[in-house]
Amino acid sequence: MQLATWNVNSLTVRLPQVLDWLAANPVDALVLQETKTTDDKFPREAIEAAGYHVAFFGQKTYNGVALLSKQNASQVQKNIPNFEDDMARVIAATVDDMRVIGAYFPNGQAPDSDKFVYKMRWLQALREWLQTELAQHPKLVLMGDFNITVDDRDVWDPVGLKDTIHCTVQEREHFQGLIDLGLRDAFRLFDQAEKSYSWWDYREFAFRRNRGLRIDHILVSEALVSRVSGCVIDKAPRKNERPSDHTPVVVTLG
């Protein structure tokens, strides 16, 4: 079984790439972030025609998430319960025997901004909700665009970007808070190439120069760790014409 996450930066623009990628990588579930489309315009038919069930939760212009799955998804949850939020950032569902959560974490903009304050509040609410989710669903996968680098290995220039957005101590403490709930960073369960990233700026030939960040993650609960047989970043879609700035991350479970 394979699960994947991809921030597509507009599903309207990237739908053909998503369908092509699924044809080549028929994963059992795929969560998307930054669909940037309202639910009435969501391309449900095209995705169902590709053999996937789909649950989605969007808004105009910004944010928006979706969960595609070969098996039917039940108990669909949109956003964090009991956390007031204007933004469509979370979609969760039960697929097979697993709770699958796709999330688009707030960007945060800058450590001294109001958006950073919101990011901290959102992270705290996510952690509290996940604690209850884990109690109900010990087999749980949290994946998406975290907008957090876990440590300096995830940063192309850790000196120059020290304490900047995605690299602050506060963000990393929140990431560790998720780990402390009993989750593991699937990518680091395995030996990986140095300078492995999941996002590259569109500017300054950042992809070609591999000036990137690893901010897209897949966390698996302890109950699933023994089943995880691999986790890779698929850089191929970043080489497409009109690529997303993010590329998919894929985990394989036995």
Q: Does 13 bind DNA (CB under 7 A)?
A: yes
Q: Minimum CB separation from DNA for residue 62, in Å?
A: 6
Q: At what angle do helices 114-136 and 169-180 cross, to 10 degrees?
A: 10
Regarding 208 and contact with DNA (CB under 7 A), the answer is no
In the complex, minimum distance from the CB of residue 82 to DNA, in angstroms, rounded to a whole number: 22
Considering only residues 25, 77, 107, 252, which one is a binding residue for DNA as defined by CB under 7 A? 107
123 binding DNA? (CB under 7 A): no
What track of x and - describes contact with DNA for positions 56 through 85 (by CB under 7 A)? Answer: ----xxx-----------------------
Q: Which is nearer to DNA, 106 or 237 (CB)?
A: 106
Of 250, 221, 207, 246, the closest CA to residue 33 belongs to 246
Interactions with DNA, residue window 212-241 (CB under 7 A):
213, 215
Closer to DNA by Cβ: residue 97 or 114: 114
Residue carrying the six token digits 């680091």: 188
Residues marked active site are found at 104, 145
Tell the smallest beta-carbon distance from residue 101 to DNA (Å): 18
Q: Output the smallest distance, CB 238 to DNA, in A.
A: 11
How far, in Å, CA of 215 to CA of 197, rounded?
A: 8
CA distance 179 to 187: 13
**CA-to-CA dists, residue 102 to 19, 39, 218, angstroms:** 19, 17, 9
The Cα 196–Cα 209 span in angstroms is 12
Please give the single-letter amino acid code of residue 119.
K
Q: Which single residue is written with the structure tokens 């108990």?
A: 75
Residue type, 212: G
> Site residues (CB under 7 A) for DNA?
7, 9-10, 12-13, 34, 36, 38, 60-62, 106-107, 109, 115, 145, 147, 165-166, 199, 201-204, 213, 215, 242, 245-246
